[in-house]
Structure formats: structure tokens, C-alpha cells
Structure 1
């Protein structure tokens, strides 16, 4: 009965939206000091141990991307919250604001994140919103800041979570926790964890594979929090050899956030401009990044 009683919540009056939005916990804002503290600790330790985990230009680029995202997300959060409330008000199976609903919301959110992530590697249009995260050639905690400023386009793939009827506050807290979870997996210092943990969660070991540019590692381990999605959908790869980080054609201007964000769009426009016929042009926009890279290699050999 407790489970059934959570459904059938009243609509949120528009005049109360700002109050509800302001009451939602700012989890990421609270966590920012701790995140920078651990980055500093990792940076100092790696320097003292003469580890090549940090590169000055890449670190500046990652921090620049992160600061830009903080500014952009502040503005976008308001629009998305209004949209989440609008969806919440039109679905007939609205859930009350109960904190235990965070658990099913998180699991379903992560399921959608898995497919969002997988699509981002499958079509160049969406890859352009994600490639910034993979462009770093060094793996450290600042890579978690290395997120594209246009990644918010992918919010459309998370609409099913909102349509499920979760309260907007639950939806936004879930999103923030999911983002924070991905901070700690971007490190070389945490090696393999106990087997049951590696089997369920996207650990540093599992996620290092995802950032590897070797053929066996490309397009593997898409899970954001839970790695069992990859096991279910046959995209799992165990960490076997040291990953070579970066993309197949590493970028120049490693400290320039604008270049990191938009270099793929510039390449896409150039490819479309020189392609003959609409079919070929569409291929360079929506084709698989791997197939496009192979097509370019073949063209260069010809």
C-alpha cells in the first residue's frame, strides 16, 4: 500500500515553482570544494612520484571547460526545471516527493544514461557533444570536468525519466548525484576493486577502458554508475592492458576550451562541404565516428 500511495500526487502550481526549485539541494555546489581538494591532492602526489598523470595545458583546458559548464548549467537549470514540472503536471501517475523514490529514479536514470552515452559514440552528431570528454591524453580527476558545453542537447534522451512521474526535485537530485559519481572514476590511483564491486559499478578500472583508444577498448563500458548494463548489452570489456588515452586523432590547442568544444563541429562542416551528394553529406553528420574515420583513411590511401 505504501508503494501505491506514492502515486496520484497533486500538480505543482506554477506560482510555487521557484520555491520548490530553491528548496532542491545543490549537491554539486556543495561538493565543488571537496572535488578541487582531491584534484590538488592527486596533482601533488603524482608530481612527487614523477607520474605522468597531469599535463599543464590539458589541465587548464579541463578546468576551463568545467568553469564554462558551471555558468551554462546555472542558466539551463531553470529552463529544465520548468520543463520537468510541465511534464510532471501532465502525466497522470505523478509521484509524491518521497526520498525513497530516489532509488528507482536513479536506476532508470542510469539506464537512460547508458543508452545516451552509447548513442553519443554511435552517431557523429552526438559524438560532437561528447568528444571533448575523450580528448584528454592524460587520465586524472580533472577529466571529470572535461565536458562539452553543448552536451545539454542530450537531455532529450532523459525525458523518459521525467515521464515516469518522478517529482522534479527527485529528478534533479538524481542527476546531480549521477554526475558526482563519475568524478572519482577518473583516476589512475584506484586500481581494481573487489570482484562484486567491479561487477556492479563503473569503477575506475572499468572506466579507464572506456577512455582507451586501443581497438579492443573503443566503444566499451558505457555505464555511468552501473556497469551491469554493459554486461547485459554486450559492451563490456575488462581492463587488461594499460589504456592509451585520447582519441584516434588527438587535438591541437589543448588548453583552449573553445577548440576543445567545437573542433569536431568544424571538422564535420568541412567534411559535409567537400562530400558529394546528400547521402554522403548525411553520412558525415549522422554516421558512426568509427566508420567515418575508416572512410577518411581509405580516401587518403586512394
Structure 2
């Protein structure tokens, strides 16, 4: 029988539970491994007397991570229904072939770059991502700091689903992409071989992304591959020691509710106070940097026009 990649049969929606059981729960399997390496890093940090961890912030990271696992589990079935519906809608459905994981992963990472970049350039999406940047210490628990409302960004990945990849491939790709980002959140891995640094988002490359200095802000968005940043002009090598956190750091470091929703709350308050639809939209979709500058001018009593 000749090989055929496209033209796979539709998946009956009443089979969604069967498909769900067929998707390996890679993240759940990986949790004990992640906790093991996190514990090792904590112990080594303690005995070396390095300031890579802070008690309240670590508690906050763990609580945020646990909440994210619960939210992800609760939404999984709904997202799977969406993926199967899209899969059935298009005529170029791909058969379940595990080698399609590679092109799916590369394409997925391309859209991840843009989703990540937009999450820094527009405040609405920044509110779904700031959780990850609010830590002032860089360690493996930072990888747990994933927003409870980050799944809104599924909209950025719908083009991948519409390309016809099997839903199982799509979900496995997502899990691997999330897990890849665990190991890059550490101070203990410095520079890797040049070819690795050139292709992948290594700890060195990703430390830059978490920097609050001017030269590091909005740089190195790549999740797995850093060459997207090289192509689109957002790459910055690690130079001076990175100062972590956001430009205005949060006070409640152990409260997962505050960590997740403080920016959303501030945005709603800014929109409520703003006069005119243009300014309200600016406070929703404007650049977080420009919004911060605008608010500083207001606090200083200056009158400033809304940036175009």
C-alpha cells in the first residue's frame, strides 16, 4: 500500500476521551524529576552560600506552579475538543506519524517566539506573562511561574493546529516545549559550546531575557531555538551580570493570587480612570514600557500625550 501522509480519517468527537488517554502525560511524569533537580540546586546553593533563592519568592513560585497544573488539567479536555474540531474541519489532516513531531515542534516554536514577543509588547498579553518575570532570583523554580491565564495564548498557536498535525502530535509538542524551558532557568550552567549557544535558548541566552537592564529588556524571546531572535533582530548576548525581575518589582512575593493577577488588576484600574476610548485602548494594548513611562509622568504631575 503506498505511503500517504495526508487524508487521515476524521476523529469522532465522542472518541475524545480515547484520544486523551492516548496522549502521554509527559509533564506529570517529569514533575518528580524537576523537583529532584530543584532540590539539588537548593541544597548546593545553601552550602555554597549563594543568593540564588529567597524563601517567600520560592514559596510563591511553587504555589503558582501547582495552580498552573490544576488549571491545565481542567482545561485539557476543552482544548483537545478544539484541536479535534479543527482537525476534522480541514481536508489535509495528517496521519498519526511520530516523525511529524519534528516539523511540528519547529513550527510550534516559531509561533511561540511571536506569542512570547507580543506578550512583552502589548499589555493585555503581558498580563498573562508577567508572572514568569516577577521573580527577582533566577533558579529552577522560576520555570514553575506560569500564569494561570496563559492558555488565552492558544490563539497564537491555532495556525499550527490548522496545518493538519494530529492532535496527539500537537499536545505532545506542547508538553515537550514547556519542559524544555525548565533547565534554562539556572545560574549554574554558564556558557555552553558556541554552536549550542547559536541555535538553542540556553541558560545564558535566557538569563538575558529575564534581565531588567535596558539592554536586556525585550530580548531573546526564543523558547527552544534562539535563531528566531537572530533572524528577527531581538538577540542579545549575555554580558554584564543580569539584574532579574521587572522594572517595578512586586511586594507580595508568596501570594500566588497577587502574583497572577496584579497586572490585570492594575490594567482594569488604569482603564477605569482613563478618559477617552483612545487612552483606554492604550492602557489595554499599549507597550508596557510606554505605559510605565506614561504613569511615571502622571505621578510627576506632567501632562503627556498618549503615544501614537
Q: For structure 1, which runs of at least 5 residues remain unmatched after alignment?
A: none
Of 224-233 and 18-27, more deviation after overlay is shown by 18-27
Quote the Cα distance in structure 1 between the aligned partners of 2:242 and 2:260: 23
* Corresponding residue number in structure 2 for 1:40: 39
Quote the Cα distance in structure 1 between the aligned partners of 2:222 and 2:59: 27
Quote the Cα distance in structure 2 between the aligned partners of 1:24 and 1:152: 18
* Corresponding residue number in structure 2 for 1:58: 57
Quote the Cα distance in structure 1 between the aligned partners of 2:170 and 2:269: 39
Deviation, 1:15, is: 2.8
Quote the Cα distance in structure 2 between the aligned partners of 1:15 and 1:273: 44
Relative to the length of structure 1, the TM-score reads 0.98
* Corresponding residue number in structure 2 for 1:68: 67
How big is each residue's C-alpha offset from its partner over 1:139-164, in whole Å with a ceiling of 9 and x where there is no partner? Answer: 00000000110111001110001000
Deviation, 1:14, is: 2.2
* Corresponding residue number in structure 2 for 1:296: 295
Quote the Cα distance in structure 1 between the aligned partners of 2:268 and 2:107: 35
How big is each residue's C-alpha offset from its partner over 1:32-72, in whole Å with a ceiling of 9 and x where there is no partner? Answer: 00000000000000010000000100000000001001111
Q: State the number of aligned residues.
A: 301
How big is each residue's C-alpha offset from its partner over 1:160-211, in whole Å with a ceiling of 9 and x where there is no partner? Answer: 0100000000000000000000000000000010000000000000000000
How big is each residue's C-alpha offset from its partner over 1:236-290, in whole Å with a ceiling of 9 and x where there is no partner? Answer: 0000011100000000110000000010011112211222211111111110001
Residue correspondence of structure 1 range 127-142 to structure 2 within 5 A: 127-142=126-141
* Corresponding residue number in structure 2 for 1:274: 273
* Corresponding residue number in structure 1 for 2:251: 252
Deviation, 1:17, is: 2.0
Quote the Cα distance in structure 2 between the aligned partners of 1:261 and 1:244: 21
Quote the Cα distance in structure 1 between the aligned partners of 2:269 and 2:168: 42
* Corresponding residue number in structure 2 for 1:23: 22
* Corresponding residue number in structure 2 for 1:186: 185
Deviation, 1:16, is: 2.1
Relative to the length of structure 2, the TM-score reads 0.96
RMSD over equivalenced CA pairs, Å? 1.1
* Corresponding residue number in structure 1 for 2:217: 218
* Corresponding residue number in structure 2 for 1:89: 88
Quote the Cα distance in structure 2 between the aligned partners of 1:254 and 1:30: 28
* Corresponding residue number in structure 1 for 2:200: 201
Quote the Cα distance in structure 1 between the aligned partners of 2:121 and 2:145: 20
Quote the Cα distance in structure 1 between the aligned partners of 2:74 and 2:112: 22
Quote the Cα distance in structure 1 between the aligned partners of 2:8 and 2:265: 47
Runs of 4+ in structure 1 off by over 6 angstroms are none
* Corresponding residue number in structure 1 for 2:159: 160
Quote the Cα distance in structure 2 between the aligned partners of 1:151 and 1:15: 28
Quote the Cα distance in structure 1 between the aligned partners of 2:13 and 2:277: 45
